[in-house]
Chains A and B, each alone.
Chain A
Amino acid sequence: MASSTIASSVRHRTNKGLLARLRGGDEISYLVTLICAVAIFVVVTLIVLELWKNSQPAIKAFGWSFLTTTRWDPNGGKFGALPFVYGTCVTSAIALLIAVPLGVASAVFLAEMAPPKLSNLLTFLIELLAAVPSVIYGLLGIFVLLPLIRSYLVPALKGGFGYLPLFQGSFYGVSFLSAGLVLSVMIVPFIVSVSREVLLAVPTEQREAALALGATKWETTWDIVLPYASTGIFGSVFLALARALGETMAVTMVIGNTPKITASLLSPGYSIAAVIANEFAEASGDLYVSSLILAGLVLFGLTIVINALARILILTTARRAATA
């Protein structure tokens, strides 16, 4: 690197002594910053170690059946995490189903349609949504969203689609559906923000070529731009998914805290993050605590995988756009 050879030649020429070099600060600076970088390693290792160590009792007791059994029984000492995994997956799926079309459509508008100043302003505002704390989403969820869902959405769903097992059963406000809806609002900004950037990165030549051939703006977007950016958009979806999986407070406040596996979205349920938040403070008995920590480890594992996939997808699109 040019700067380092200049630096070393400068150092050489001035022929400083050890003390002077130390005062110059290079060694210390290098060491200190290196130590901090390594410290991050240490922190992450500590986290993984603690999780691994503390979940050993549960792993030994249950093995893989931890993920396939449905009974979570602190009294009897049997812990099966399937209801929580199910709840986490269902609420995230609902959130994605709503947020992805909404988010990608908005990104299309912002990247393709809106004049740059408007686009920047609107994106700025949408990104503010991502800054709203989770507990405030929960607050709004309980007092605003739940009554709205109960009064308008559920009757409409039951009226139109009541024969589906998805919408059977009584509705009590707290449910998979409510949690999924709150989550969708929380992850939309991520999808909009990243998808918009990915769309903007698509080279204009592609668009111009399509338009020159007589395509309408929509056809250009749908047939050329979106497919080109699709990997990156998938990346944004995975990012949003990772966020949804780990979301704790807003979900705990509206999901119903009931470990249950059922097809009905109107039923109360539970998620991994929610059960840890509710039960960790009082889990006594090594197996109980260990099971909760194992559930946390499972969640962590899931988010690692999804995040990694997201990074790969987004990087691939960026590289493709740069080399095109």
Chain B
Amino acid sequence: MTMEISPVRKVVNSAMLSLSGICTLLVIGVLFFILGYLFVHGLRSLNLDFFTKLPKPSGETGGGMANAIVGSGKILMVATSIGVPIGFLAGIFLAEYSGKTFAFVIRYIVDLLNGVPSIVIGIVAYALVVRPMRHFSALAGGVALGIMMIPIAVRTTEEFLRSVSNSMREGAMALGATKAQTIFTVVVPAAMSGLISGMMLNLARVAGETAPLLFTALGNMFWSKGWLQPIATLPVMIYNYAIAPEEDLHQQAWAAGFVLLMLVLVVNITARTIIARGPASARR
């Protein structure tokens, strides 16, 4: 015996389900709109000068963001060398060594760190690095971004190490390896693709951060020498140019936005694809 579903319920069913589909389309649409707009406007303003020239003084047109591109690279280098080792090793501790309660506490603290608003990290980096050193610097900016990288580094390391099956660990131990040798010569390599992708995602997220750099790296019209001088970065330049009145600077902001977005998206897509495919051992 089959019951007839009333036409009202049928209509509501199709209507609601279509509505949810429309919402999804809307969200996806926004993504493509952002991409498209930046593509069109950014590409239009992109030229060789952008990558090779320094910014011009106020009032003169032209110039580029060569120093900002390199500057972002330098700061990310500092950030990676601070955030990744600490995060990676702490992640190993959580996955391989720690007892349950201590792990819970550490995870909570890591979550806490992740929740700190980026502007607050900027304040702290100013107080801890800039003020005592009496210098705005790439180092200070790198410290701020490095701190932001730690939580994600910890989480991805722990997650991917845990996904390596125990049989690998036991096999290594059975062959006489110490725990340390097991971890570093067997488990980590097994999780390597995930770890690297995680690091790439981390880097991409931090590359676009602007707020913490406002009062740590400051900015620079020229090339910044070494690590202890103020330095120009892409996101800060985009911000400064976007709120300026000159149309010429707006164009440069679009170009910079395009470059930044492309870098971030390419890294994201690559990393996520690697993770999605996954190492063979992890899936077993």
Contacts and interface: CB of A to CB of B under 8 A. Distances in A.
Interface centre among B92, B115, B122 (most CB of A within 10 A): B115
B235 A135 contact: yes
Contacts of B162: none
Contacts of B87: 36
B238 to A, nearest CB: 5
Nearest to A305: B115
Contact of A29 (B113, B179, B243): B179
Contacts of A34: 93, 97
Nearest to A24: B178
B24 A39 contact: no
Interface in A218-235: 218-219, 222
Given A50-B124, A106-B27, A128-B31, A136 B257 contact: yes
A165 B89 CA distance: 55
Contact of B106 (A37, A143, A281): A37
Interface string B20-36: 11011011101100100
A2 interface: yes
Nearest to A101: B23
Interface stretch (B60-68, B190-198, B261-269): B261-269
A261 to B, nearest CB: 22
Given A143-B250, A218-B12, A307-B111, A246 B117 contact: yes
B176 interface: yes
Contacts of A47: 113, 116, 120-121, 124, 147
Interface string B22-54: 011011101100100110000000000000000
Interface string A1-42: 011101100110010000001001110111011111101110
Interface string A244-263: 01101100010000000000
Counting from the closest, the 9 A-B pairs by CB-CB distance are A133-B208, A246-B117, A25-B180, A29-B180, A33-B93, A24-B178, A105-B23, A36-B89, A109-B20
B16 interface: yes
Contact of A7 (B113, B178, B272): B178
Contact of A219 (B9, B109, B117, B178): B9
A280 B215 contact: yes
Contacts of A113: 17, 20-21
Interface string B78-101: 000000011111101110111000
Given A108-B20, A128-B31, A216-B13, A40 B110 contact: yes
A56 B170 CA distance: 54
Contacts of A122: 24, 28
Contacts of B89: 32-33, 35-37
Interface in A290-310: 292-293, 296-297, 299-300, 303-304, 307
B113 to A, nearest CB: 5
A307 B113 CA distance: 11
A25 B181 contact: yes
A134 interface: yes
B117 A214 contact: no
Contacts of A307: 111-112, 114-115
25 contacts: A7-B182, A10-B174, A32-B89, A36-B86, A37-B93, A41-B106, A44-B109, A44-B113, A46-B124, A50-B124, A102-B26, A113-B21, A125-B31, A131-B264, A132-B208, A133-B210, A133-B235, A136-B257, A280-B123, A280-B215, A296-B119, A296-B120, A307-B111, A307-B112, A311-B111
Given A26-B180, A273-B119, A138 B239 contact: yes
A185 B30 contact: yes
A134 B34 contact: no
Contact of A25 (B31, B127, B178, B261): B178
A128 B268 contact: yes
Interface in B244-267: 250, 253-254, 257, 260-261, 264-265
B154 interface: yes
Contacts of B182: 7
A156 interface: no
A278 to B, nearest CB: 9
A4 B110 CA distance: 26
Contacts of B170: 2-3, 6
A103 interface: yes
B211 A51 contact: no
A140 interface: yes
A191 B244 CA distance: 34
A307 B109 CA distance: 12
